């Protein structure tokens, strides 16, 4: 991967491929109406552990690509995180 080649699609595809065996391109082809709403985040939600795995991958990928410190990347990733992160399946409260 060349520097500065990070795209939104890359971040979406990582968790979609790994946990749902699909990609944004496939969703655009198969479910274009779903992608016009936020419902696709719920349909393709992940567990907290899967989300954490994605987050670590995302931070590491940005650090390597941008050659910046982890602390700086985590601080700067906060806004993009809201658009790129997978939705987390709510866990029922323990009794």
Q: Which residues of the chain have pLDDT under 50?
A: none
> Could you write out the three-class secondary structure of 12-79?
HHHHHHHHHCCCHHHHHHHCHHHHCCCHHHHHCCECHHHHHHHHHHHHHHHHHHHCCCHHHHHHHHHH
Tens of pLDDT, residue by residue over 71-93, are 999 999 988 999 899 999 987 77
- How much is the pTM? 0.86
């Amino acid at each position: 991967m060349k520097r500065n080649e990070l795209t939104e699609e890359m971040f979406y595809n990582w968790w979609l491929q790994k946990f749902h065996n699909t990609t944004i391109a496939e969703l655009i082809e198969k479910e274009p109406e779903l992608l016009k709403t936020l419902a696709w985040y719920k349909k393709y939600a992940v567990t907290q552990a899967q989300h954490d795995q994605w987050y670590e991958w995302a931070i590491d990928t940005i650090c390597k690509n941008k050659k910046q410190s982890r602390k700086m990347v985590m601080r700067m990733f906060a806004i993009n995180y809201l658009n790129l992160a997978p939705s987390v399946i709510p866990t029922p409260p323990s009794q």
